[in-house]
Amino acid sequence: MNIAKEAKLTLSRLDVDSFLSGVKTPEKNAFRQRLESQFETLFALYLELYGHRYDFHFHLQTLVANLAAGYKARSASLKRKDKQRLQQPNWYRQENMLGMACYVDLFAGDLQKLQQRIPYLQQLGITYLHLMPLYLSPEGDSDGGYAVSDYRTVSPNLGSNQDLKNLADALSKAGISLVLDFVFNHTSDEHEWAKQAQQGNEEYQQYYYLFEDRSLPDAYEQNLREIFPQVRRGNFTWNEAAGKWVWTTFNSFQWDLNYSNPAVFNAITEEMLYLANMGCEALRLDALAFIWKQLGTNCENQPKAHSLIQAFNACLQVVAPSVVFKSEAIVHPDEVNKYIAPQECQLSYNPLLMALLWNSLATRKTRLLTQSMRKSFAINPQCAWVNYVRCHDDIGWTFDDAVAGQLGINGHDHRYFLNQFYVDRFEGSFAKGVAFQENPSNGDCRVCGSLASLAGLEKALASGDDAAINTAIDRILLLHSVILSIGGVPLLYSGDELGLLNDYSYEQDDTKVHDARWVHRIAVTEEDIANANNAGTVSNRIAQGLQHMIQIRQSNPVFGESNTQILDTGNQHIFAYARQGQGKGELLALVNFSEHEQTVMLNNLELDWVTQGTDLLTRTKPQVQSGQLRLSPLQVLWLARHSV
């Protein structure tokens, strides 16, 4: 079959004009043009996913009608933004980019109050704001909002849809891109579709994976992992109302959507376009690794998961091309990278860098970090990493066991060590974290805790030891220095810029006590912010140190679209990378993960300009003696060839 020819023929048979009635001619043409350029891709993917169905054409036609409806609903100002962004496709790779992720209620109270905090964000230099899910969700435990009952209604405790629109406008005026969650692997059991399914409506029962008895669930279960084994075993939940087993990868109230049904693809596309039309500029694809199920596999990272995301992306390119996708794949590093492509996810969290920064902090060694980044850091130049140190989730030790093996590190044992270290069961550890979802069957475990507590600040403050406090501050700044300079969008987690410590109050809340991730979901009060403005406080030192690095990043193009090369320094305590971009100067970053002074042989770096470089952080020349460059404990050097 000649796909190009059949796609053309199919498109010519669709009465696109009738879907666009009332739209002005120039806009109609813009839509048609984009549809024509994406249609072959979309057609091929849809055919691969649903071509075996007798009703294939009906669903395809419905999808195109949905795209036209989404386009009609898109505001004039967002359409202008689309045009603009098509002219500057690499906007997310610029040096001015700086992200923050926050919960609306914890950061500000509600959407209106958040709008009042825009000056604070601007002062920090934020250009990208990810608001944790703010949609209607079940009372009590809603997995922090990741159980969505209605994608089109803002949770009443946060405000109204109009508040969200106002906020999106205000952010846009302030030069801050709004990022929203696209929670499309599952809905809550209170979503209208799930309610219909529970009432026996067969059409909606096919929106989910429901089973009469245990035979298929048991067959699938052979190969599935458990995400929250401490809350509930297995991946299926018995639903009394429907009298069926339901596929629930995460919590029992989060029902996995059935994407083998094209009606689900189409319905979710409508929801996606609704979110795009609210004015966001990136959608975070939550739990995207899980969206396609295939018996006999672990049902993660299936080839058709990629086809689905590419199909969603093609739809977005037609209706809202200024919006990009961010992948949230917390899986094996090789699988993480497969989601990153201009036609799939333009942005991706970098869980490998995140986990290995923490690894290097614990071990004071950088070999695993260096080898792993050499293997996995390079991605398509039209895409960008979202580099982070902490987020709202736990830390999972997602490195490649094969890379570790080459260095003589046993992955299983090393993960055990890291868990012990960070939950303070290892003598001499500086960290104060909380164990998360220890699996009684296989001993797996993950770690929760705020950046400051994991980096040693909580213990240091408790002991009143000034040297330990200084060291903890150095660690916090060191971690941030890497995400700010290695290439990609640095993403701060709200509260970390102030060095906030673990909040144990969740232990007193019935709806939270079983989920230790709440220990690092911390309210940011006016007092916290004021405290950071008081010269000399710990929080002030962290905030100032961070500000300083942010200002350097944002005023120097080498931190933008340059290439990154991971270097081997020959000193196992030092992580190093060089960055270079056409006409943007050069940067050499050296990061000492040890609490002792370290030296690097200049010869190992194979860069001829190092001695002439200037450290952007201190505006001094590097200390070089007999061909060796010296770094003090936990020091970071940002050597630039052209000082700015």
Pattern 96-135, ligand GLC, x by CB under 6 A: ----------------------------------------
Question: In the complex with ligand GLC, which residue's Cβ is closer, 394 or 496?
Answer: 394
**Could you say whether residue 396 binds ligand GLC (CB under 6 A)?**
yes
Can you read off the two tokens belonging to residue 466?
Answer: 């000034």
Question: In the complex with ligand GLC, which residue's Cβ is closer, 391 or 587?
Answer: 391
Question: 3-state DSSP call for residue 432?
Answer: coil
Smallest distance, ligand GLC to C-beta of residue 514, A: 13
Among 11, 42, 67, 227, binds ligand GLC (CB under 6 A): 227
Which of 110, 181, 256, 328 is labelled catalytic?
328
Q: Please report, to the nearest 10 degrees, the dihedral formed by the alpha carbons of residues 291, 292, 298, 300 taken in order.
A: -50
Smallest distance, ligand GLC to C-beta of residue 391, A: 7
Question: In the complex with ligand GLC, which residue's Cβ is closer, 82 or 393?
Answer: 393
Burial of 4 (0-12, 13-18, 19+ CB in 10 A): exposed
Question: In the complex with ligand GLC, which residue's Cβ is closer, 350 or 592?
Answer: 350
**Could you say whether residue 393 binds ligand GLC (CB under 6 A)?**
yes
User: What is the full DSSP assignment across 166-201?
Assistant: HHHHHHHHTT-EEEEEE--SEEETTSHHHHHHHTT-
Instruction: For residue 150, report the phi and psi dihedrals to the nearest 5 degrees.
Output: -160, 115
Helices marked H in 292-332 — which ranges?
303-319
Amino acid (one-letter) located at 480: H
Among 394, 474, 586, 615, binds ligand GLC (CB under 6 A): 394
What is the enclosing helix (H) or strand (E) of 387? strand 384-388
CA distance 336 to 351: 8
What is the enclosing helix (H) or strand (E) of 274? helix 262-277
Question: In the complex with ligand GLC, which residue's Cβ is closer, 105 or 143?
Answer: 143
Smallest distance, ligand GLC to C-beta of residue 544, A: 31
Smallest distance, ligand GLC to C-beta of residue 227, A: 5
Smallest distance, ligand GLC to C-beta of residue 279, A: 22
CA distance 248 to 210: 10
Smallest distance, ligand GLC to C-beta of residue 491, A: 13
Smallest distance, ligand GLC to C-beta of residue 251, A: 8
Question: In the complex with ligand GLC, which residue's Cβ is closer, 111 or 289?
Answer: 289
Of the candidates 364, 422, 542, the residue with the CA atom closest to the CA atom of residue 470: 542
Number of H helices, E strands in the chain: 25, 25
Question: In the complex with ligand GLC, which residue's Cβ is closer, 148 or 472?
Answer: 148
Part of the chain binding ligand GLC (CB under 6 A), chosen from 34-42, 134-142, 388-396, 459-467? 388-396
Question: In the complex with ligand GLC, which residue's Cβ is closer, 110 or 143?
Answer: 143
Of the candidates 114, 120, 118, 190, the residue with the CA atom closest to the CA atom of residue 159: 114
Taking CB positions, which residue lies at the least distance from ligand GLC?
146
Is 286 considered catalytic here? yes
Alpha carbon of residue 446 to chain centroid: 18
Part of the chain binding ligand GLC (CB under 6 A), chosen from 58-66, 309-317, 389-397, 412-420? 389-397
CA distance 278 to 258: 26
Question: In the complex with ligand GLC, which residue's Cβ is closer, 205 or 251?
Answer: 251
Question: In the complex with ligand GLC, which residue's Cβ is closer, 520 or 541?
Answer: 520
Which of 286, 344, 424, 515 is labelled catalytic?
286
Is 344 considered catalytic here? no
Among 143, 190, 281, 497, binds ligand GLC (CB under 6 A): 143
Do 108 and 117 contact (CB within 8 A), yes or no? yes
| CA separation, residue 532 to residues 121, 200, 337, 547 (Å) | 14, 56, 37, 12
Number of residues that bind ligand GLC (CB under 6 A): 14
* Positions 230 through 269 that interact with ligand GLC (CB under 6 A): 250
Question: Which residues on neighbouring strands pair with residue 637, listed in sequence order?
Answer: 590
CA distance 431 to 359: 12
| CA separation, residue 494 to residues 101, 106, 518, 524, 644 (Å) | 6, 9, 14, 8, 29
What is the enclosing helix (H) or strand (E) of 77? helix 76-87
Four-residue CA torsion sign, 123, 618, 574, 553: positive
* Positions 45 through 84 that interact with ligand GLC (CB under 6 A): none
Smallest distance, ligand GLC to C-beta of residue 249, A: 8
* Positions 176 through 215 that interact with ligand GLC (CB under 6 A): 183
- What number of residues does the chain have? 644
Smallest distance, ligand GLC to C-beta of residue 280, A: 17
Among 104, 330, 403, 576, binds ligand GLC (CB under 6 A): 330
* Positions 263 through 322 that interact with ligand GLC (CB under 6 A): 286-287
> Considering just the CA atoms, what is the radius of gyration of the chain in Å?
25
Part of the chain binding ligand GLC (CB under 6 A), chosen from 100-108, 141-149, 489-497, 563-571? 141-149
CA distance 137 to 472: 38
Smallest distance, ligand GLC to C-beta of residue 436, A: 7
The residue ranges that bind ligand GLC (CB under 6 A) are 143-144, 146, 183, 227, 250, 286-287, 328, 330, 392-394, 396
Residues catalogued as catalytic: 286, 328
